[in-house]
Amino acid sequence: MTSVNVSSVTNTVVVTDNGDSTVVEVITAGPQGPQGPPGFVVDTAAKVDKSVVYYDGASSSFKADAIWTTTNLTDGGNF
């Protein structure tokens, strides 16, 4: 395996090996959105595919689990 050392900060590096050149581009993640207000926590420990976030008054928290999903809301869910 060949290693490549890059000594300057750049997003594009051209690697040449035995006459073959390969362009390698590095993309970093952009800025993230702001954090929610203090105390706004969503419990996702029991999340399943297509979970819907809802507020559970009994636990005073927002949850995403198998109780409300896009499937049970559209297949006879009570709005």
Distance CA 9, CA 63 (A): 42
Distance CA 71, CA 33 (A): 29
Structure confidence at residue 77 (pLDDT): 56
Structure confidence at residue 78 (pLDDT): 59
Q: Residues of the chain with pLDDT > 90: what percent?
A: 27
Determine the average pLDDT of the residues in 6-31: 82
Cα–Cα nearest to 77, from 43, 28, 69: 69
Cα–Cα nearest to 40, from 65, 61, 58, 59: 61
Mean pLDDT (the chain) is: 83
Answer for the pair 53, 70: CB distance below 8 angstroms, yes or no.
no
pTM comes to 0.47
Cα–Cα nearest to 52, from 40, 42, 41, 38: 42
pLDDT, tens only, 26-63 = 888 888 888 778 878 889 999 999 999 999 999 888 99
Structure confidence at residue 41 (pLDDT): 83
Structure confidence at residue 79 (pLDDT): 55
